[in-house]
Amino acid sequence: MGSYRLCLCYTRKFKVKEAEPPEDVRQAFKKYADGGATMSAEQFRRFLVESQGEAVASVADAQRVVDQVIHKRHHIAKFSRHALTLDDFHHFLFSADLNPPVGSEVHQDMTAPLSHYFIYTGHNSYLTGNQLSSDCSDVPIIKALQRGVRVVELDIWPNSAKDDVHVLHGRTLTTPVELIKCLKSIRENAFATSPYPVIITLEDHLTPDLQSKVAQMITQTFGEMLYYPEAELKELLSPEDLKHRIIISTKPPKEYLEAKGTKESSHSEKKDAEDDIWGNDPLDVSLARQDNKTEGETNEHSHEDEESDDCETESCQPGGPTYKRLIAIHAGKPKGGLKEALQVEADKVRRLSLSEQALEKAAESHSTDVVRFTQKNILRVYPKGTRFNSSNYKPLVGWMHGAQMVAFNMQGYGRFLWLMHGMFRANGGCGYVKKPDFLMSLGPKNEVFDPKAKLDVKKNLTVTVYMGDGWHLDFKQTHFDLYSPPDFYTRVGIAGVPADTVMKKTKKIEDDWTPVWNQEFSFPLTVPELALLRIEVHEYDMSEKDDFAGQTCLPVSELKSGIRAIPLYDRKGEKLSSARLLMRFDFD
């Protein structure tokens, strides 16, 4: 029971009603219970196999779930019933733990070279907030690793005494953290949630003696966890080969002599529209073209770009063979323009870094060259230098072109980061997602996938939004409205290739903590392999901007069919304790 005070003179009482099973749930129960009042374990097993597409081999497995549901609902150890009532059945379907929308197991082939995978990648992983004045710390690195991030970026600089190495965002007011502290935290947390390799990308601004010191730190900290080949790699190893290993990627020291650091040509501090989660939706197709026109153009070699360095004298020649030998994946950009940079070399692999704007330019003029490059080599995309507030950019551009490392500010938030979280819920959340076959294959004339090609619809996804519940447990009674229960509506849509990108919404349900929408939406998909299902719940506010009530993004390729419980997350991607939706997914 809750209450709202009205006009300061009387109190309005209200009760959060119990969530009633939707009609589809009732019909499923009736069908599989053969019209009876309870559903046996065998009948429940049939429902899971036939309606939900689950591989439940035995009645005993189904019985274990039945007993779990009954025990959880009734908390009576000696409870003798071993069959489900309609309410038990509804409780199972509405439980995000028992009936999730995607699986939690690693199921993809992990034996292909690293270049065959999208890799969960952080940008300036040590920053606690904005790019200009926040503290540097190992804490965001630990959080990222615990979320499943597999690529950590460290900017390394000499300390003021030039006798030790600090991690900080150079030429800014960010306060430094010692490199050794970051390395130890990586060692202790690298494999907390995933056994697959962690890659440390270094943006190196050191003298040779400090490079030698870093080599010593790295070898002593990681020991046998560290992977480094005897000779430069001709082909990348697989995530399976590199389980529980740490990999270093940066430019070999001698190449710094050839690099000329160029600064960002535009330092407009305009607020990035996509960072305002209550402004226009930056993923709407109608806004995409407009976005590209107004985007501030900047030089592709920003101060973020590890291809540049301010070390230009003879004293910066090699930092000794030890440091160079630790670099397993060599970064570097050959002389010449973008076309030359994207050349695939037969006898070696490398990593190329491009800013978000440089990638967009490459996508316009060299799209198939980018795809071909990423079939063997690693492409890292990073945010433009003017994203001072740690906002992010459209990740789909990189993924459509096969870029493995779409580097994001994990300490930021906003819709683009939610997409990143969604992509890496795939494959058991291990941080490596196998690229679709079309990005890795060659056609009969040796051609590769063309991201600009118009494609036919390959699959149709039908989404039914039944109802929601749990907000009254996660939020105060007056969080959304002072004087009445909330008016919830759900936005549901697709983030993917431009032809598939769309957003729709349900009607709003007034004055109800347990809204029932029962609305169906259809999404024709040309590239379902790269599609993410976007789900957001908002509370309608007539006089001000609508209130945020939870979100999630889910990889369409991993969606389980049937009726599913969808857990919701807050703005920063932390899971809400109770708020969830009941939805149905059907493919044809």
Each residue of 544-568: pLDDT tens digit? 789 999 999 999 999 999 999 999 9
Q: Tell me how crowded residue 574 is: count the other CB atoms within 10 A of its CB.
A: 8
Q: What is the 3-state secondary structure (H, E, C) of 352-407?
A: EEEEHHHHHHHHHHCHHHHHHHHHHCEEEEECCCCCCCCCCCCHHHHHHCCCCEEC
Average pLDDT, the chain: 87
Does the structure show a pLDDT above 50 at 7?
no
Catalytic residue among 91, 116, 166, 169: 169
pLDDT in the model for residue 391: 94
Whether pTM > 0.85 for this model: the answer is: yes
Amino acid identity at 572: K
Per-residue pLDDT tens over the stretch 29-70: 999 999 999 999 999 999 999 999 998 779 999 999 999 999
Per-residue pLDDT tens over the stretch 184-239: 999 999 999 999 999 999 999 999 999 999 999 999 999 999 999 988 889 999 99
pLDDT in the model for residue 403: 98
State yes or no: is 401 an active-site residue. Answer: no
Strands 246-250 and 198-204: parallel
CA 368-373-375 angle, to 5 degrees, is 100
The terminus-to-terminus CA distance of the chain in angstroms comes to 44
Residue length, the chain? 588
State yes or no: is 75 an active-site residue. Answer: no
Amino acid identity at 166: H
Per-residue pLDDT, averaged over 360-378, amounts to 96
- Reduced DSSP (H G I as helix, E B as strand, rest coil) percent helix, strand, coil of the chain, to 5: 30, 25, 45
Dihedrals phi, psi of 362, to nearest 5 degrees: -65, -35
Could you give the CA distance from residue 459 to residue 313 in angstroms, rounded to a whole number?
Answer: 58
Instruction: Of 198, 303, 318, give the one whose Cα is nearest residue 251.
Output: 318
Catalytic residue among 123, 166, 205, 301: 123
Q: Tell me how crowded residue 37 is: count the other CB atoms within 10 A of its CB.
A: 9
Dihedrals phi, psi of 288, to nearest 5 degrees: -60, -45
Per-residue pLDDT, averaged over 516-525, amounts to 98
Dihedrals phi, psi of 45, to nearest 5 degrees: -60, -40
2: Cα within 13 Å, side-chain hemisphere: 17
The set of residues, in sequence order, having a beta carbon less than 8 Å from that of 249 and lying 6+ positions away, is: 199, 200, 201, 202, 327, 328, 329, 330, 331, 351, 378
- Please report, rounded to a whole number, the percentage of residues in the chain having pLDDT higher than 90: 75
